[in-house]
Structure 1
Amino acid sequence: MKSNAAANDVCNDLLALLDNAGPTSDYAIVATAPHASAAAAASAAAAAAAAAAAAAAAAAAAATATADVKAAAAAAAAAAAGGSSGAAAALEVVGTTRRFSVHRAILVARCPYFATESATDVGAGGASGAAETNVREHHMKDTDPDALAALLRFIYGGQLTVSTREQARSCLALAGKLLLLKAVVLLREHLLATRSCAHIIDDLIWVAGLDGHGELLTGLVDFFAELESDIPEDGLQALAAAHPALMAQLFTARVRAAKRLRSA
């Protein structure tokens, strides 16, 4: 009991240090969120590139697919014509930038990513600037500042709190980049424990674009296969356009689930 209490006290002290870094900070992280237009362009390009495969999948599955998968397979081919226009129509939104005052020793000790990256960071004034200070900066592009804020609290004090499903997804992607394996496990378990029909399509589209999260993808596919309620057609169209190959996996999972029900 005393050991646990002492550990909690240390965590609370470190979190207080993070919240009020002040002059004790010797390191800064500058996180810049992705531009909305870049994300939209990438999504549109992926949909256009996958159009041929989607059309083939639609033809192959049309004879035997369930109603939901039929609609999705057919929608994938239709999405090809308009997919490439999304990038041109996207509105550019400047990425949000946020600066975090932190402590290099804590990050190096508790986060493998910073243990490697911080060695090459220079002072805030640059390598040759007269205004160089003792505070080193590390710039992280295409990084959600809110996700980083949550993971810094995990690094300092072991706390991991997410307020929305979108934040949980963003934190999981960033935790993988930072090599925070415990955080990855916690976030994956949270996303699997809170699966729902309302979020399943967005979850599948998101996780299919990530590397190294096969366990989460499998859990979401299994959940989709067992769904009794209908999936909105527009959601299936978006999934088919973004990841046509995944539709075959979902179709197979649906067939297996139906066989299990018949044999039960």
Structure 2
Amino acid sequence: MELPPSLVNKYNLKVEGNLAAKQTLVFAHGFGTDQTSWRFVKKAFSADYRLVLYDNVGGGKSDPNAFSPIRYQELNAYASDLLEIVNVLELNGAVLIAHSVSSMIGVLAAIRNPSAFSKLILVGASPRYLDDQDYIGGFSTEDLDVLFKSMTANYYAWASGFSSMAMRNYEKPELGQEFGSTLSALQPNIALSVAKVIFQSDCRSALPKLKNDVLIIQMKNDVAVPEAVGRYLHAHIEHSKLLEIDVEGHFPQLSAPDLLSVAIESFLNEQH
């Protein structure tokens, strides 16, 4: 089908892989990256699946004029964007493979339209980054104050330091540099606005409403998402499976793509 130019322009929307395949995989990226972060993983699925890739508004090669801090002051706005793509492509029973914040965006979208996705694969997901009573999110209010002040004071210096810390894999500095480069490509005011929405969000109450089959992939040493968060998600999402992988950092699609691809393929082939 012919993709509407308006959506191609707005989301840098791409449909590729095996266009005749019955099953569609939708890849959704996290904060500070774009769809190119999936380039190693998608190779494993391009022969057997139709692949949908897009950039979240405010990031990547999405239309910079589409971003509004008023519209995008909650994650549900991004869920509406994902559902717009779902509706235009007439997706039914697709599999969403989402990284970081796009995991919760996908959860919100699937709750609103359960038939859109047969399965969700959530990589490095967190329903809340802030610690709370009886909940470990990984960040205190003071941590976030420091984060936002650093972003405001010198965004590019912050991006350089944060990217290396989030990627870890210090023996492969090019990975941190890649994240640093996509992070630095964001407009600093947009990046700060989006970061505040992400780090101050709380999607915990949505989790029990999700009825799709879910694979939660939790990294062992993730500076943004402690292991306790993966276990929390598993405990609160009814049809979920938790896979803890021995990977450093927040970006296994870049640092361990083969391992991640095997995990995804195994879940795709599971009968539920």
Q: Quick check: which one's strand share is greater?
A: 2
Q: Please give the TM-score of this superposition, normalised by the length of structure 2.
A: 0.25
Q: Quick check: which one's helix share is greater?
A: 1
RCO higher in structure (CA 8 A, sep ≥6): 1
Q: Please give the TM-score of this superposition, normalised by the length of structure 1.
A: 0.25
